[in-house]
Amino acid sequence: MLRLISYGLLALLAYLPMAQANQITTSKTVILVRHAEKADKGRDPMLSHEGKLRAKALVEALAGTPLSLAIATQFRRTQETLTPLMAAKEIPLVVIDAGKEMDKHIAAIADKVMAQDGNVIIAGHSNTVPLIIKALGGPELPQLGESEYDKLFILSMPQEGATSLIKTQYGATSINTP
């Protein structure tokens, strides 16, 4: 048994210089969510009770995912959606102001993601999440519905090759409300 482990270790050690010479390509994963349910319809509402539960569910959904950075807008609902995850993963938050020019906002987020080493989580809005995905090389998607809070998008961005997108859900399924 010890001999088998030794052979495996030797094979790994022999492979490492070749891998470094060939510069192993790594990928970056970007997780995107819309902010969780908001408490009211004001300009900058906090999360509702359901939204706070969804923010905690995000921690569970991404428990095994290494992350290096969280990105949100200046609005409380995006930051509160990421707060439990940031605490659990001990990652910093970068706030990128949504401003009045959507194109500049999306470009600033894409630039930050591209400059970051490691995986990134982004909490956006119903109208920005699809635009961010497209700006990062993903497919064009329709705007999220006003009651869609449970969507989780996983964008895999290899150094070489095509970007791929997985759409899934986390937390309780959104309730369609008028």
Lowest mean pLDDT among 6-10, 63-67, 145-149, 173-177: 6-10
Instruction: Read off φ and ψ for residue 165, nearest 5 degrees.
Output: -130, 135
CA distances from 164 to 70, 152, 154 (A): 20, 14, 8
Average pLDDT estimate for 135-144:
97
How many Cβ atoms sit within 10 Å of the Cβ of residue 94?
16
CA neighbor of 94 nearest in space, from 113, 107, 77: 113
Q: What is the pLDDT of residues 49-82, one digit of tens each?
A: 999 999 999 999 999 999 999 999 999 999 999 9
Q: Which two tokens stand for residue 143?
A: 């705007």
Q: Which two tokens stand for residue 135?
A: 């700006």
Lowest mean pLDDT among 40-44, 79-83, 159-163: 40-44
- What pTM was computed for the model? 0.83
CA distances from 22 to 15, 16, 38 (A): 11, 10, 48
Q: Which residue spans within 35-160 are E strands per DSSP?
A: 69-72, 93-95, 120-124, 151-158
* % of the chain exceeding 90 in pLDDT: 76
Average pLDDT estimate for 115-143:
97
- pLDDT confidence of residue 165: 98
